[in-house]
Amino acid sequence: MSGEPVTAWLIDQRPYNPPQGGVWCYTDTLSWFGPTPVSPVSKAVVNYDPVSGRASEINLRWKPESLSRGYQIQIAKDKDFALQVVDIGSTWGGPFYTPYDLDVPALVIPPGGGTITDSNGNTWTIPPLEAGHAYYWRVKVQDVAAGDAIKSPWSWREIFTVKTGLRIATPYYGPQPLLPDNGCLSCPVKSASFAWSPFMDTVSYKLVLAKDSAMSDIIVEVDVPATAYTYEGILDYSTSYFWRVMAVDPFPSDWSATFCFQTETAPIPQAPQKIQVIPLWIWVVIAIGVILDISLFVLLLHRWST
């Protein structure tokens, strides 16, 4: 049951000797309130892992509600949970995430991300959380020990920040840029083509092209349903550009490494060739010369014949 709290009355009229009845009352305690987040909360800072340069071990803990045992947990990069990084136990009917200790439920994310397993042997893969970034998380009940088909609302959202760490030493957990190559020179300004490696069942990617390495002076930001994209605009000559890509659907990934390239130089314009007009007096001189040549040829021919 979900929605508003429900108080129900059950009348027990089983035949006893002597006959007797009973009235039982119960309240749906999961209809208004979800689990209570315990940690990390209130913008708590999570340490980074010095090996990977990303988040270290993270323990998400919450208070149980009404014999709850199966949960759904989400982690996202935005408060509206549109950019979800983790979504565990989302399928209705299971498998839900079942903690090892139902009295003290928790989700332990290993350093640098990885595979987590619940008490029923169900597994999920969690991507590495980036150092220096804030993440939102929430949890809800999907299953109770009584076996009833009942779920709770979401808990209130909480936020934590991964401490800024060392330079990332492990590969980026996301698509890898391929074309144009990093540091490419003399790239065409028209129909610039981009390509990257596919990433784990992804059906949609986001590509950003900018004029600065901070990716603030954006030229284009577009969702692409494939691993290639052609920019139909015209880029500037002799200009450096920066681009990166990330998986978006069904789950967002880290941004790829940021690649840069430089466009070709502008062609040197050639001055149009002028058509030279031959003066009339030159034609007269040529004509006179031709007439003299003919006259001389006729005179010589006459003398030779006589």
List pLDDT tens digits, range 59-87: 999 998 878 889 999 998 888 887 788 88
Domains of the chain: residue spans and CATH? 1-32 (no CATH), 36-162 (2.60.40.10), 177-263 (2.60.40.10)
pLDDT < 70 positions in the chain: 1-32, 50-53, 91-94, 165-173, 271-276, 302, 305-306
For position 8, what pLDDT does the model report?
47
For position 204, what pLDDT does the model report?
92
Tokens of 190: 């028209």
For position 184, what pLDDT does the model report?
86
φ/ψ of 299, rounded to 5, equals -60, -45
With contact defined as beta carbons under 8 Å apart, do 186 and 265 qualify? yes
In tens, the pLDDT along 205-258 reads 999 999 887 788 899 999 999 999 999 999 999 998 999 998 988 878 878 878
**Residue 258 has what DSSP assignment?**
P
With contact defined as beta carbons under 8 Å apart, do 55 and 162 qualify? yes
For position 106, what pLDDT does the model report?
94
For position 34, what pLDDT does the model report?
84
pTM of the entire predicted model: 0.52
Residue 120, number of CB atoms within 10 A of its CB? 13
